[in-house]
Amino acid sequence: MQKNVLIAFALGALLMGAGVVVGTQLEGDAPATPSAPPELLKADAPEAETKTEAPKLLGQPLDEQILMRLARLEERIEVLVEQQKKLSKDVEPAAWVAQMIKSRMPAMDSARLKANETAAHATLRNCISAQAQMQATGRVDADNDGTGEYAGFRELSGAVPGRMSRALIPPVLSSAFKTLTRHGEVGRTGYLFKVYLPGSRGEGIGEPPAGFTNASGIDSNLAETTWCMYAWPGDPSQGSRVYFINQAGDVLSTEDARYVGSGNGPEADAAFVDDGRITGKTAIGRKGNDGNVWKQRG
């Protein structure tokens, strides 16, 4: 249909250029010369010019010329139509945009993962500072021996009193750490974070969703010197590294596809050498209890 419209448009342009308009005289019809009073014709024109010749009408030569030009136009239209089809196929805007986005997805995904991992690293550093401040001030002192203990997210953020007489004011962590998942984790920038404090045998006790209390089984003396935390991706698109920190201030990392999503973080002793305890040596540059090599990241 597009082709027919173009041909009709071209034919109209040709006919108008040739002077063919509505009312033009055709062969076989009576001459359409304008009438004028005989007196005026006789007065204005010489005797020899009173006999007028009929205008040249459209004949066979002009018809052939139009047909030849139309044939050339049709050929040109065919070429243009084919070019338009090819252009629509090769450079469809929506398809082009989709292809462009798809081609850049790996770089975009890599940048997002890098940003999430950088943010997770910064959060870990912030938690190291908050824990050191909490222990130094002695706000948590469950055994009343004058030595402060490390705490959980809910205590550090002032959400609950926990093992203190009242909630911490001002808190040393932001309100983003007040709410935990049902597995006792905090979600931030695509990562999940979980705190562990030591029990009587040095085993790691994860923070419950409501926060640590005096009934959580925490060993007060060991909690004065020991704590640890893990961070892992909420889903595979959010990151690939898994992080570990403790009171020593070292940030360790590894990669393990098992550690993805809520409730699927490392066990408390994953980055330690001694099985079942968080009070021993960390697996810096060597395999931990989970079988992964944990590398120091500063």
What pLDDT, in 10s, does the model give residues 117-173? Answer: 999 999 999 999 999 999 999 999 999 999 999 999 999 999 999 999 999 999 999
Alpha-helical regions (H) of 203-263: 220-223
Preceding omega of 46 cis (within 30 degrees of 0): no
Q: Per the structure block, which two tokens stand in for 278?
A: 């968080």
In this predicted structure, the answer to whether residue 43 has a pLDDT above a threshold of 80 is no
Q: Enumerate the H helices of the chain as residue ranges.
A: 2-17, 38-44, 60-90, 93-137, 153-156, 220-223
CB–CB of 226/279 below 8 Å? yes
Pairing relation of β-strands 293-296 and 241-246? unpaired
**What angle, rounded to 10 degrees, do the helices at 60-90 and 2-17 form?**
140
Residue 290 corresponds to which amino acid?
D
Please report, for the chain, the start and end positions of each structural domain, with discontinuous segments joined by +: 110-296
167 within 8 A of 139, measured Cβ to Cβ: no
**CA 28 and chain centroid, separation:** 76
- Looking at residue 121, its pLDDT comes to 93
Mind listing the pLDDT tens digit for each residue in 53-83? Answer: 544 444 455 566 776 777 777 777 777 777 7
Nearest-angstrom CA–CA distance, 127 and 150: 11
Average pLDDT over residues 243-265: 96
The CA-atom distances, in angstroms, between 96 and each of 84, 92, 109, 169 are 16, 6, 20, 56
Structure tokens at 170: 């001002």
Question: Model's pTM, two decimal places?
Answer: 0.65
